[in-house]
Amino acid sequence: MKKLNILVACEESQAVTKEFRLLGHNAYSCDLLPCSGGHPEWHFNMDVFKVIKNKGGLLQNGDQIKINGTWDMMVAHPPCTYLAVSGAKWYYHPDDNYLPVEQRRPHPKYPNRANDREEAVKFFVKLTKAPIYKIVIENPIGIISTRFRKPDQVVQPFMFGDEARKTTCLWLKNLPKLVPTNIVGEGERIYFKSGKSQPKWYSDAFVKSKTHEERRTMRSKTFPGMAKAMAKQWTK
């Protein structure tokens, strides 16, 4: 088996990185946040584009790491805060719902959200243009489908053995679609008085987290079954 150099971008949890490592590949996570996966020696705590350009960089402990050859694959999880459809309500003033979109004022709590969205779109598109032969970028349903293109595949954790619903879109370059490995139930849901509901795992993140940043990090982690499928199927 050829050992592949794999960059897992925007991943502090190292969930996907560990699965590639278990198969013997040279996988490294990269994020502006320190890793929480327990392996800082596999983590670039820096700008992902510097890592792509330099084939290596400074790790958290200051040691230098050298990647032999080029990156064979990149699995990227760009932040979805400004891209996901779930955050659309925070773009415009709540009193302007009756107005056409172009006439609505910015949300008073998040006046710069539209600019943040544009930067997020640019970051996503820049990842797709990285000089790496195999690329996959994942994100929830959101603006990328119209601003860039529709995803090549939409998957759920319950397709890979985890009883949970988390709609995940995949944009693929020179990689096959994932094949479901173990279809199970969709997991519990929490229902509110308003009639709305959400997956229990998503609601639990709100209860267990102390800050907005911590909650966002918990909700962004890749489920184990999907991480295993990515590693096994994309390195065949």
Integer Rg of the chain from CA: 19
Higher pLDDT, 190 or 13: 13
Mean pLDDT of the 212-223 span: 70
Cα separation values, 150 from 126, 180, 219, Å: 16, 20, 23
Give residue limits of the domains in the chain.
Answer: 1-76
Confidence check: pLDDT of 73 > 90: yes
Residue entry with tokens 């940043």: 213
Q: How far apart are CA 198 and CA 44, in angstroms?
A: 34
Higher pLDDT, 179 or 192: 179
Q: What is the pLDDT of residue 180?
A: 98
Q: What is the pLDDT of residue 59?
A: 67
Q: What percentage of the chain carries pLDDT values higher than 70?
A: 79
What is the pLDDT confidence band of residue 82, given thresholds at 50, 70 and 90? low
> Please, which residues have CB within 8 angstroms of residue 207's CB and are 6 or more apart in sequence?
none
> Please, which residues have CB within 8 angstroms of residue 160's CB and are 6 or more apart in sequence?
178, 180, 181, 182, 223, 225, 226, 228, 229
Q: What is the pLDDT of residue 85?
A: 59
Mean pLDDT of the 79-102 span: 68
Confidence check: pLDDT of 74 > 90: yes
Confidence check: pLDDT of 144 > 60: yes
Q: What percentage of the chain carries pLDDT values higher than 90?
A: 51
Structure tokens at 146: 């119209």
The one-letter code for the residue type at 219 is R
Highest average pLDDT, of 146-155, 191-200, 205-214, comes from 146-155
Q: What is the pLDDT of residue 182?
A: 97
Q: What is the pLDDT of residue 43?
A: 92
Q: What is the pLDDT of residue 18?
A: 97
Nearest one of 61, 76, 67, 111 to 91, comparing CA atoms: 111
Q: What is the pLDDT of residue 203?
A: 75
Confidence check: pLDDT of 164 > 70: yes
What is the pLDDT confidence band of residue 214, given thresholds at 50, 70 and 90? low
Please give the backbone phi and psi of residue 75, each rounded to the nearest 5 degrees, phi first. Answer: -110, 115
Mean pLDDT of the 216-222 span: 72
Query: At 172, is the secondary structure helix, strand, or coil?
Result: strand
Q: What is the pLDDT of residue 200?
A: 80
Confidence check: pLDDT of 48 > 90: yes
Query: To the nearest whole number, what is the mean pLDDT of the chain?
Result: 85
Q: What is the pLDDT of residue 138?
A: 95
